[in-house]
Amino acid sequence: MVSKTSLEFVVPVYNESECIDEFLRRFLAIRDRTDELDISAVFVNDGSRDDSLQKLEGYARKYPFIRVISLARNFGHQIAVTAGLDMANSDFVCIIDADLQDPPELVLEMYAEMRRQNVNVLYAQRRQRQGDGPLKRASAAAFYRVLRRLTSVDIPADTGDFRLIDAKVVRALRTARERHRFLRGLIPWLGFKAAPFLYDRDARFAGVTKYPLRRMLRLAADAIFAFSNRPLRISSYVGMGVVGAGLLLLFYVIILRLFTDQVVPGLTVLLVSMLMVGGFQILMLGLIGEYLGRVFEEVKRRPLYVVDLVLNGEDVTVSNDDSAR
């Protein structure tokens, strides 16, 4: 018998109790719809405070193809996905949210499309954002635009983490252990062949978003600081500009002093330039602080996550030292 191609969902779960049963129902239905694929799932419980873990445990006990990895606390979405990817051992992996905003049924179409186009990554690109309010839509659009301008990595717009990747990409991804992760940038950074897959994003099945504005801003900062050092360069340019303007002003003052008997009418100029220069210096310090803080986080070399419990699988925690070799 030829063994089937295996495909695995990696599902981060944080307080998604209300969505889990429905997700499982649809997941099991997908399994029944295909003979070609052997479909399984890794659920990563990211320190949920509701009964998500209990529900997942129940399913894992019932179905051997459902694995659960439970983290010791909430480590955040990107790290949770990473933990799931570390566990994954299938030919193809589909990263998907538990809230059913991304329809899991699409995976079969995506798989066919991926095979047809012969690519390593098929990223799902939103045709429209039904489920999101105008604020989220506008901020996301602005964010992608800024990001594309700042980084040299080609990060596709309107694309979340929902995507299908092959084992080669998963393996490569495992070697990147940076802490402030932005998988949407990291995967394109790896290279490989990628293609978009257009889809309509639904509204959340139940519950509320775990990405309030504060977390979105943090993700945006991670994206920029992890993929670009252009902010530093821009600030040096501004610094040069300020120095240049200062020199010109100095020149002007000297000329006045030497060749006229005018006094420099300067209090306003003085105040404005002091404020500008002072403000700019503080801004620049903060900017350096952002990078420095990230360096500090990295040099501590703590593991990316801590595992509390694994069901139907083994703890495959990849430590920073393993992958650094």
Q: Measure the CA angle with vertex 147, ends 15 and 291; round to 5°.
A: 80
Taking the least distance from each CB to ligand UDP, the nearer of 73 and 325 is 73
- DSSP annotation string for 121-170: EEEEEEEEETTS-HHHHHHHHHHHHHHHHH-SS---TTEEEEEEEEHHHH
* List of residues contacting Mg ion (CB under 5 A): 97, 99, 101
Taking CB under 6 A as the rule, does residue 77 contact ligand UDP?
Answer: yes
Identify the residue among 5, 74, 312, 317 touching ligand UDP (CB under 6 A).
Answer: 74
Taking CB under 6 A as the rule, does residue 210 contact ligand UDP?
Answer: yes
Angle of helix 183-190 versus helix 167-174 axis, rounded to 10: 110
| Smallest separation (angstroms) from Mg ion to the CB of 100 | 8
Q: Could you tell which of ligand UDP, Mg ion, none binds residue 163, using a CB distance below 5 to 8 A set by kind?
A: none
Beta-carbon contacts of 26 under 8 Å, excluding residues fewer than 6 positions away, are: 100, 104, 105
| Smallest separation (angstroms) from ligand UDP to the CB of 18 | 11
| Residue located via tokens 């006094």 | 263
| Smallest separation (angstroms) from ligand UDP to the CB of 20 | 10
| Smallest separation (angstroms) from Mg ion to the CB of 211 | 7
What string marks each residue from 247 to 286 as x (binds ligand UDP by CB under 6 A) or -? ----------------------------------------
> Which of 8, 11, 10, 62 has its CA nearest to residue 31?
8
β-strands 66-71, 37-45: how paired? parallel
| Residues near ligand UDP (CB under 6 A) | 12-14, 16, 46, 74, 76-77, 80, 97-99, 101, 209-211
